[in-house]
């Protein structure tokens, strides 16, 4: 038997014996009570043992003191009342209640109640004011440390809008297995899910049993391995899985507060996500913010996070009407949507003159390597020329800050997408030298969940039974989540420094082999690696084996913000007349001359022969 249960039994036994003695002492002289107790000690044992048997019957010794609730208090009251009546009956049959004060049964009941419940009440008294009907609620298993789990269960029982019926607990450790919190059993620990598997098998035998539909993680301090283990288990057993980022989110201010966040694949990539300090973003409040490409993966998340910071107003520029419609489905305040092409410089200027933003986040770009590799002029027009015009307009109208979103593919670029982004970096560094507008460049790694990410592609291929297609067995990439990418952009807009045109990037640990990512996704899908074939094709035109975050000569330095690196090194500088010449060739659709000038401006570009396009 559990040591804590034995200690509880001993506590209750001593308290009940003492209560019997005290109930007599209150009414009789102490010396008389001591002599009288020599006769009555057997009855005190009967009272104590009968109480303990009844308390065990009511399930009290499976509960944890710290989470004692009204349910446990009622069980104690019933047990003490029945034991007191039984003891009174036995005293009447044997002693005819001779010398027993009439008030003794009442005193025995009161003292025993306070004695047994007192320590438990000291930890916690829960008053269940509402009886929530569990019909049509989603049966779930909740995961985490006892205190966090208890909060979740308590809120799910009290709040009217809770959609969940907690039927089991998966503990952080093996301690407490077999016991209960608010009458909900602790079934297993995260480290040993075999017990839970046995439990689910037993439930499935009887059709009347309620099977869990979902696992909810109430503890956001779980390790990556623990999350992965739960993810694999849930997929294996057909359970949905989600997490509650903060227990305060369960306070009911709307019907959506009990929605939990589904776990996506990036949560189990083996690297803790970088979280920026919110204090760096406070200055965005009350600012006028404009976001280009606001309907894309990064742009739409930027819109959501900027809106949450309560800006004075938010302007969204997007050329795709469907994407603009989707992003506007969010509950934005003071938003001005503009259906506009970033290449239409006259309209962009009209919007900026009308809206007068304090900060511009420039996310609009062509990003798919394959498409722009076959049509470099489009990439030059959208990625480079449109950026040039936006920078000129921003300087003309004295915009406070412009944040340009770049890519790690701009480092030693081998494709036209990376080359155009690198061209923008160099141009911005060039024009920012004597500019009143503050320019900042943010380099991204591969953003998981964005349009074109390998993760949704691999998920589809796994669901289709394979094969998973990878271009090369040694391909490795730096990965970051959309949240990390957007927080990096927002933080960079608020960094206090005097280095105009600085390049910032998030420290992302070691690059991940794509083949290892694929294998892990197979496992997370509840399958064996042998079930899904991995097929290696060949590197696409312009694709590299390994990406880089910085040029060797850039020598990145740490910033005042942990996890963000910066460089202000201007490599391979070019004259402004060369940029103007390239702009002229692009505007005149002269691709051959434009590509030659691109090569001249970017000696770091490992160019393929694109002059025949």
Residues that are catalytic:
409
Angstrom distance (rounded) from CA 354 to CA 388: 20
**386 CB-side CA count, 13 A:** 24
Give the number of other CB atoms < 10 A from CB of residue 72.
Answer: 27
Beta strands in 172-252 (DSSP E): 180-181, 184-189, 214-217, 240-243
403 close to 420: Cβ distance less than 8 angstroms: no
The 3-class SS string of 86-119 reads HHHHHHHHHHCCCCCCCCHHHHHHHHHHHHHHHH
Tokens (6 digits) for 297: 């993966």
Nearest-angstrom CA–CA distance, 160 and 523: 38
- With H, G, I as helix, E, B as strand and everything else as coil, classify residue 45: helix
How far is residue 146 from each of residues 79, 184, 222, 276, measured CA to CA in Å?
27, 12, 13, 29
Rounded to a whole number, what is the distance in angstroms from the first to the last CA of the chain? 80
* Contact of 536 with 518, CB cutoff 8 Å: no
Query: Would you call 354 exposed, middle or buried from its count of C-beta atoms within 10 A (0-12, 13-18, 19+)?
Result: exposed
Find all residues with CB under 8 Å of 252, minimum gap 6, and list them.
159, 160, 161, 162, 258
Backbone angles phi, psi at 291, to 5 degrees: -125, 120
In three-state secondary structure terms, 124 is coil
Tokens standing for 178? 């077999």
**Taking Cα atoms as reference points, which of 105, 192, 107, 180 lies closest to residue 149?**
180
Residue 255, class by beta-carbon neighbours within 10 Å (0-12 exposed, 13-18 middle, 19+ buried)? exposed
Task: Enumerate the β-bridge partners of residue 440.
Answer: 403, 502
User: Strand pairing partners for 142?
Assistant: 169, 216
Contact 567, 556 (CB under 8 A): yes
Residue with tokens 């048997």: 53
d(CA 542, CA 414): 5
């Amino acid at each position: 038997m559990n040591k804590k249960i034995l200690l509880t039994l001993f506590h209750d036994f001593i308290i009940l014996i003492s209560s019997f003695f005290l109930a007599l002492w209150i009414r009789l002289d102490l010396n008389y009570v001591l002599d009288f107790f020599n006769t009555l000690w057997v009855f005190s044992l009967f009272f104590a043992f009968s109480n303990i048997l009844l308390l065990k019957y009511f399930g009290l010794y499976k509960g944890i003191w710290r989470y004692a609730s009204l349910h446990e208090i009622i069980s104690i009251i019933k047990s003490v009342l029945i034991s007191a009546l039984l003891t009174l009956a036995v005293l009447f049959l044997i002693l005819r209640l001779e010398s027993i004060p009439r008030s003794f049964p009442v005193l025995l009941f009161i003292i025993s109640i306070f004695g047994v419940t007192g320590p438990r009440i000291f930890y916690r008294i829960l008053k269940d004011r509402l009886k929530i009907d569990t019909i049509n609620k989603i049966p779930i298993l909740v995961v985490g440390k006892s205190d966090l789990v208890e909060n979740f269960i308590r809120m799910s029982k009290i709040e009217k809008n809770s959609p969940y019926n907690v039927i089991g607990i998966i503990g952080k450790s093996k301690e407490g297995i077999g016991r209960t919190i608010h009458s909900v059993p602790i079934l297993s620990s995260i480290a040993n899910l075999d017990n839970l598997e046995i439990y689910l098998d037993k439930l499935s035998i009887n059709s009347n049993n309620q099977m869990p539909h979902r696992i909810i993680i109430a503890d956001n301090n779980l390790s990556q391995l623990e999350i992965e283990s739960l993810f694999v288990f849930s997929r294996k057993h057909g359970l949905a899985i989600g997490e509650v980022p903060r227990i305060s989110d369960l306070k009911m201010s709307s019907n959506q507060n009990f929605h939990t966040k589904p776990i996506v694949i990036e949560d189990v990539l083996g690297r803790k996500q970088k979280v920026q300090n919110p204090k760096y973003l406070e200055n965005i409040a009350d600012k006028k913010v404009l976001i280009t490409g606001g309907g894309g993966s990064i742009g739409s998340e930027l819109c959501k996070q900027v809106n949450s910071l309560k800006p004075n107003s938010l302007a969204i520029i997007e050329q795709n009407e469907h994407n603009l419609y989707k992003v506007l489905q969010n509950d934005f305040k003071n938003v001005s949507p503009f259906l506009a092409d970033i290449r239409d410089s006259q309209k962009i200027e009209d919007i900026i003159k009308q809206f007068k933003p304090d900060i511009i986040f420039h996310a609009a770009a062509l990003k798919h390597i394959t498409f722009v590799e076959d049509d470099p002029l489009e990439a030059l027009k959208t990625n480079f020329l449109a950026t040039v015009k936006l920078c000129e307009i921003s300087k003309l109208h004295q915009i406070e800050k412009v944040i340009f979103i770049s890519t790690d593919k701009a480092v030693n670029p081998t494709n036209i997408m990376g080359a155009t982004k690198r061209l923008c970096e160099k141009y911005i560094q060039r024009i920012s030298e004597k500019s009143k507008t503050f320019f900042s460049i943010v380099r991204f790694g591969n953003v998981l969940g964005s349009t074109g990410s390998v993760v949704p592609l691999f998920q589809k291929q796994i669901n289709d039974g394979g094969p998973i297609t990878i271009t090369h067995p040694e391909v490795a990439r730096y990965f970051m989540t959309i949240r990390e990418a957007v927080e990096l952009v927002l933080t960079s807009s608020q960094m206090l420094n005097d280095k105009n045109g600085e390049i910032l990037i998030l420290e992302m640990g070691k690059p991940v082999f794509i083949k290892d990512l694929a294998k892990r996704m197979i496992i997370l899908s509840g399958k064996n690696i042998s079930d899904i074939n991995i097929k290696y094709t060949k590197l696409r035109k312009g694709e590299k084996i390994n990406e880089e975050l910085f040029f060797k000569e850039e020598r990145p330095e740490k910033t005042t913000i942990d996890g963000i690196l910066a460089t202000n090194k201007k490599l391979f500088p070019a004259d402004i007349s060369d940029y103007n010449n390239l702009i002229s060739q692009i505007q005149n659709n002269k691709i051959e001359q434009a590509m030659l000038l691109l090569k001249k401006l970017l000696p770091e570009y490992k160019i393929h022969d694109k002059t025949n396009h």
